[in-house]
Every structure is written in structure tokens, then in C-alpha cells.
Amino acid sequence: HVQLVESGGGSVQAGGSLRLSCVVSGYAYSSMCMGWLRQAPGKEREGVASITYYDSTTNYADSVKGRFTISIDNTKDIVYLQMNSLKPEDTAMYYCAAVAVAPRCDLFTNFNGWGQGTQVTVS
């Protein structure tokens, strides 16, 4: 089954940037749907961005459009989330997620593989 390992979180000041990475191992099918989700303390988990493995079609939450970019390096099986112009409200635990096959690949996809999470704190 798929294994996901995130890295790249940290603490930054508002307006700063971070790049999260998610290494995919176990399997990486071209049909896969990948996503980044986040959960802040006391809040529900929310989808941030999604991307399809075979053609890199992307979707973004309105709150991050124009600031975050999701991408895939298929040769290395790494999914990135470039986060620019960070705001305090972006503070959360960020999770990489995957599913081998999905009827649709978007922020509401029923992912079944999860990483351990990486903390992002914006002050």
C-alpha cells in the first residue's frame, strides 16, 4: 500500500514562504489522486489542494488560490506544495493524502492513504 512522508514544515512570519514535500512510495499509479489537507486546532480538516498524477490537473481551496501551488515530480514520486504569502490563518498541521483511483480528484476526494503530517506555523 502507499506510504507518504511529508517534510518542509516550520515556523515563518506572515508574508513568508514554505515548500512542503511528500515522498510517495509503495506504489505510484498514473491514476492516483494526490492532495494536501490541513487541520488547525479546534477546526475540521479541510482540503487545500489536489492534483492528478497522470495530467497534473489541480484544484485549490479559495482561501489559498493565487498563493499556493501543488505540483508533482513524477520521476521522483514527490508531491510539492509551494506556499507563498503565508498568513497566520494558514497555521495548521498539513497532511499529504492519496488514493489510487477516484471518480473525481478534488478537495473532497475520499483519500485512503495519509502521511504523518507536518506542522506549519505562521506568526
Q: In terms of Cα–Cα distance, which of 66, 69, 47 is closest to 58?
A: 69
- Give me the average pLDDT of each 10-residue run along the chain (123 residues): 94 98 86 95 96 93 98 91 98 96 90 96 98
The predicted pLDDT at position 75 comes to 85
Contact 6, 96 (CB under 8 A): yes
**pLDDT at site 35:** 97
Q: What does DSSP assign to residue 108?
A: T
Give the pLDDT of residue 76: 86
pLDDT computed for residue 29 by the predictor = 79
pLDDT at 42: 94
